[in-house]
Amino acid sequence: MHAAWAVYLLLTIVHFWWFELGLSKVDRWTFGLYLFVIAYGVLLFLICTILFPDRLDQYSNSEQYFFARKAWFYGLLAAVFLVDVGDSAFKGPAHLHALGL
């Protein structure tokens, strides 16, 4: 399970950076938009830190650690999905409409 989430996060981060190139079409950058993009990257970083902790001293294995932190993991993952909708909206209404439901 850990390996599957690791691969998913790797692909998500690659996808994130690739599609952030779409922000090159934004004519006027604001500090809020800049902070939004930074926050998106920070959310992905936080998910990775939960999935790959520095120490597992208090837990017998990584599975036990993951289940102890699953609420944080899935909560941050849900936040990334919500932020992704906002990110698509910043790229313009045509981009958001092209994605469909």
Q: What gap in Å lies between CA 34 and CA 82, rounded to an integer?
A: 17
Alpha helices per DSSP H over 20-92? 31-51, 62-68, 70-90
Using one digit for the tens of pLDDT, what is the confidence trace for 33-58? 888 889 989 999 999 999 888 888 88
| Statement: the pTM of the whole predicted model exceeds 0.75 | yes
Choose among 76, 85, 71: nearest CA to 36. 85
Quick: pLDDT tens for 3-24.
889 999 999 999 888 878 877 8
Considering just the CA atoms, what is the radius of gyration of the chain in Å?
16
φ and ψ at residue 8, rounded to 5 degrees: -60, -45
Is the Cα dihedral 10, 13, 14, 15 positive or negative? positive
